[in-house]
């Protein structure tokens, strides 16, 4: 199981995958009565740089800066140093050994999450690339290596969370994207392949779930958040 001391308001990380800082702020204001953790990804960061990050921190919220740093080690080291002391809680990097080492060496008050395998990547993609084994095997290998090299945690789908928690222990932070409400779990038009409900992810061992479109595109985001929080708490299972 995941860390039971995490407040319910921090279990869901709302992904601010919008075009402008004004849109991001409007979404936060709709959600912040129930959620105090937000993700700033590449789309919003390119539109606002650290402006939205600073606004969220000043407002008392936690921030996951999801830029998935991937470059030569020295560049990654310098990039991580730029994030230090900004009040960011999580920053994401790709799970390449030299990149992880450089990021860990430059880490200040950050918690680093290594991306294992994107949730849009499935078994067919593995075969198309000539890779052996399963996606779950690859996720486990990368997560184990990230932990050994000093990462605080990983980003992985909820389908792999149970094995990661069981085999790699409680020290590993597991943050899970690809979260969908139960009614939409089999949507054929979804570009995410390895998806689960919020409750299943947490029950399987994830510490946090990252949720974007199901909340940001909802007519009533609070209703969706409350449904997911009930699912996380086990009230809807």
**CATH number of the domain to which 201 belongs:** 3.20.20.70
User: Which listed residue (29, 39, 62, 68) is catalytic?
Assistant: 68
Q: What is the CA radius of gyration of the chain?
A: 17
Please report whether residue 2 resides in a domain: no
**205: pLDDT strictly greater than 50:** yes
Backbone angles phi, psi at 194, to 5 degrees: -100, 85
Count of structural domains, the chain: 1
Quick one: pLDDT at residue 3? 63
Domain hosting 57: range is 8-226
Please report whether residue 62 resides in a domain: yes
68 is catalytic: yes
Please report whether residue 173 resides in a domain: yes
Quick one: pLDDT at residue 137? 84
Please report whether residue 235 resides in a domain: no
Quick one: pLDDT at residue 125? 61
Per-residue pLDDT band at 195 (split at 50, 70, 90): confident
13 or 159: which leads in pLDDT: 13
Quick one: pLDDT at residue 237? 47
Please report whether residue 236 resides in a domain: no
Please report whether residue 53 resides in a domain: yes
Mean of pLDDT over the chain:
88
Please report whether residue 39 resides in a domain: yes
What predicted TM-score, i.e. pTM, was given to this entire model? 0.88
pLDDT > 70: what percent of the chain?
86
Per-residue pLDDT band at 121 (split at 50, 70, 90): low
Per-residue pLDDT band at 132 (split at 50, 70, 90): low
Please report whether residue 1 resides in a domain: no
Quick one: pLDDT at residue 4? 72
**What does the pLDDT look like over 143-194, one tens digit per residue?**
999 999 999 999 998 888 999 999 999 999 999 998 988 644 444 454 555 6
Quick one: pLDDT at residue 194? 63
Average pLDDT over residues 10-33: 97
């Amino acid at each position: 199981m995941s860390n039971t001391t995490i407040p319910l308001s921090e279990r869901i990380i709302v992904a601010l995958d919008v075009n402008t800082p004004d849109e991001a702020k409007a979404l936060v204001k709709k959600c912040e009565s129930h959620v105090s953790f937000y993700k700033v990804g590449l789309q919003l960061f390119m539109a606002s740089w650290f402006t939205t990050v600073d606004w969220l921190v000043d407002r008392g919220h936690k921030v996951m800066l999801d830029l998935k740093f991937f470059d030569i080690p020295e560049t990654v080291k310098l990039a991580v140093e730029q994030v230090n002391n900004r009040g960011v809680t999580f920053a994401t990097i790709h799970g390449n050994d030299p990149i992880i080492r450089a990021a860990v060496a430059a880490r200040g008050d950050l918690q680093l999450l290594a991306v294992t395998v994107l949730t849009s990547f499935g078994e067919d993609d593995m075969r198309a690339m000539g890779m052996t084994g399963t996606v779950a095997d690859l996720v486990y290998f990368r997560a184990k290596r990230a932990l050994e090299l000093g990462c605080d945690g990983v980003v992985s789908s909820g389908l792999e969370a149970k094995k990661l928690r069981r085999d790699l222990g409680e020290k590993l932070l597991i943050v899970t994207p690809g979260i969908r409400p139960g009614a939409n779990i089999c949507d054929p038009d979804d570009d995410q392949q390895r998806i689960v409900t919020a409750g299943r992810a947490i029950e399987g061992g994830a510490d946090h779930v990252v949720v974007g479109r199901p909340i940001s595109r909802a007519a009533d985001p609070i209703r969706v958040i409350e449904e997911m929080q009930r699912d996380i708490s086990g009230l809807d299972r």
